[in-house]
């Protein structure tokens, strides 16, 4: 597999280039746990490609074509007293019988109570982040907990950890409540690819069962499914509360040998770049659906290891954990392997998720005001910012600066975007380099790569000419991996 092609924008928009049959088949071999077992929070869909859906006012598009939301530099930019309101982050994996009606109901409830945010609803559950007054947020939660049409959701909503924090409706520009096939996208969007994977599964599928500690896992198999020559060793999937996760990370750091324990950050590269747990593997992925491709190319990192996994609020870990635990289940002995990778499926010995994600860690281990707390830097195993998908941009967990400016290489954690036309790549851009979105009046501009800069200059110098945007030369695993390094390498700046 060519590492330069892996994660390329053109290859991953539909079906990732280099996807093997094993990765594709294993990807579907899991089901998330239900919310009673896994309360947590969410992260909204990636910023690069906002879906062209209608707003409440009927407008077909909130932003002009080719534009994306700017990165806030003022923590939301409003003057509201956020103690009078709240922002919540939550998810629930629970079957929804009539998701379309729930969309309509929540849209009305939130709209009439001044609540903004992003709610994603599908047959597998609900994924939401919302902000507004305390009265408005309470009204939304009450609508969930008293939904007679969806009794399982109502029961789950009563015990969810909503991760309530001070906030206001200004943290989102509007309200978006959408019906989606997945409440956090993990599958390629093309039906043909899904059908091909379904055929490769040979009719066999798996569900996750067992108690909250993940010590039991159930599988369900069609009667017509071919029998595998030998069953893989079970991989237990469970949770660690924030304080226990903290201790596990610290124990790994203090151990003379860390080879058997892997800390895995399953967020996108621009999230983990500005903040992460010490010693974590930072996957250079642009979107969550690229994680199986990355794992498939790095199976030895995880095979037979104890994996400690985390994300923003827990929802991505639900799917990622079951995916890792399912590796090797679909091989069935049909594909003979030779060489150093013989028998290496990537299947861990165990997987433990940080319950509630980084948001819960900052709250429970460091206190409500994590970033401002004296001594947080020495207490925290997480260093830097927590990237969030609202107008705050990123929330300090500690004051540590763990990355560098894409323009000059100076230490910085100031977020910006590529100045290229139609390019929405999130960069780190220090104050001196102009914030990443400069203009033609001499303001400094930072581009993600030389090809993006050349395309932009060509467009500016030949106005009116039709120029189709080409993929950036930096859009691949290797360039993202370089940006995740603690210090810049030659050729990676400017």
Find out whether 379 and 243 touch, Cβ atoms under 8 Å: no
Residues 6+ apart with CB under 8 A from 433: 405, 406, 407, 408, 444, 446
Sign of torsion over alpha carbons 165, 167, 171, 175 = positive
pLDDT category at 226 given cuts 50, 70, 90 is: very low
Phi, psi of 12 (to 5 degrees): -110, -5
Q: Is 161 exposed, middle or buried (0-12, 13-18, 19+ CB in 10 A)?
A: buried
Q: Longest Cα pair distance anywhere in the chain, in angstroms?
A: 69
pLDDT digits (tens, 9 = 90+) for 12-51: 333 332 334 444 444 444 445 444 444 333 333 333 334 4
Q: Which of 89-93, 268-272, 409-413, 459-463 has the lowest mean pLDDT?
A: 459-463
Highest-pLDDT range among 39-53, 74-88, 212-226, 440-454: 74-88
Where in the sequence numbering do the catalytic residues fall? Answer: 311
pLDDT category at 472 given cuts 50, 70, 90 is: confident
In three-state secondary structure terms, 179 is: strand
Q: Locate tokens 């929405």: which residue?
A: 424
pLDDT digits (tens, 9 = 90+) for 294-350: 999 999 999 999 999 999 999 999 999 999 999 987 654 334 455 556 689 999 999
């Amino acid at each position: 597999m060519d590492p330069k092609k892996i994660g390329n924008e053109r290859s991953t928009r539909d079906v990732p280039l280099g996807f093997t049959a094993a990765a594709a088949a294993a990807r579907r071999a899991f089901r998330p746990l239900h919310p009673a077992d896994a309360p947590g929070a969410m992260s909204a869909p990636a910023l690069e490609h906002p879906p062209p859906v209608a707003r409440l006012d009927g407008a077909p598009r909130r932003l002009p074509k080719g534009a994306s939301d700017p990165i806030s530099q003022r923590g939301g930019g409003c003057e509201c007293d956020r103690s009078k309101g709240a922002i919540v982050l939550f998810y629930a994996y629970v079957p929804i019988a009539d998701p379309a009606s729930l969309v309509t109901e929540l849209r009305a409830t939130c709209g009439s109570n001044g609540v903004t945010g992003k709610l994603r609803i599908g047959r597998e559950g609900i994924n939401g982040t919302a902000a507004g007054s305390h009265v408005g947020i309470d009204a939304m939660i009450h609508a969930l907990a008293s939904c007679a049409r969806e009794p399982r959701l109502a029961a789950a909503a009563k015990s969810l950890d909503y991760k309530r924090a001070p906030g206001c409706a200004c943290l989102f520009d509007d309200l978006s409540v959408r019906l989606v096939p997945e409440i956090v996208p993990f599958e390629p969007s093309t039906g043909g690819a899904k059908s091909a994977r379904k055929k490769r599964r040979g009719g066999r599928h798996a569900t996750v069962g067992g108690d909250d500690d993940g010590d039991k896992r159930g599988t369900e198999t069609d009667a017509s499914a071919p029998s595998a020559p030998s069953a893989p060793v079970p991989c237990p999937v469970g949770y660690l509360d924030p304080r226990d996760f903290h201790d596990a990370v610290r124990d790994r750091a203090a151990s003379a040998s860390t080879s058997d324990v892997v800390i895995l950050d399953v967020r996108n590269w621009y999230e983990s770049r500005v903040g992460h747990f010490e010693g974590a593997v930072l996957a250079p992925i642009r979107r969550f659906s690229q994680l199986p491709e990355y794992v498939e190319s790095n199976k030895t990192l995880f095979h037979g290891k104890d994996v400690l996994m985390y994300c923003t609020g827990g929802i991505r870990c639900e799917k990622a954990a079951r995916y890792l635990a399912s590796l090797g289940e679909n091989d069935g002995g049909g594909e003979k392997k030779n060489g150093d990778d013989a028998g290496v499926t990537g299947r861990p010995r165990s997987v433990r998720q940080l319950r509630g994600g980084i948001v819960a860690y900052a709250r429970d281990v460091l206190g409500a005001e994590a970033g401002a707390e004296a001594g947080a830097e020495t207490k925290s195993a997480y260093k830097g910012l927590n990237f969030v998908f609202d107008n705050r941009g990123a929330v300090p967990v500690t004051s540590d600066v763990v990355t560098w400016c894409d323009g000059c290489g100076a230490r910085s954690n100031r977020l910006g975007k590529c100045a290229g036309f139609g390019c929405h790549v999130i960069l780190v851009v220090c104050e001196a380099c102009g914030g990443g979105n400069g203009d033609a009046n001499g303001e400094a501009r930072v581009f993600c790569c030389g090809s993006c800069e050349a395309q932009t200059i060509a467009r500016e110098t030949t106005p009116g000419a039709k120029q189709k945007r080409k993929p950036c030369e930096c859009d691949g695993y290797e360039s993202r991996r370089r940006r995740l390094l603690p210090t810049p390498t030659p050729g990676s700046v400017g």
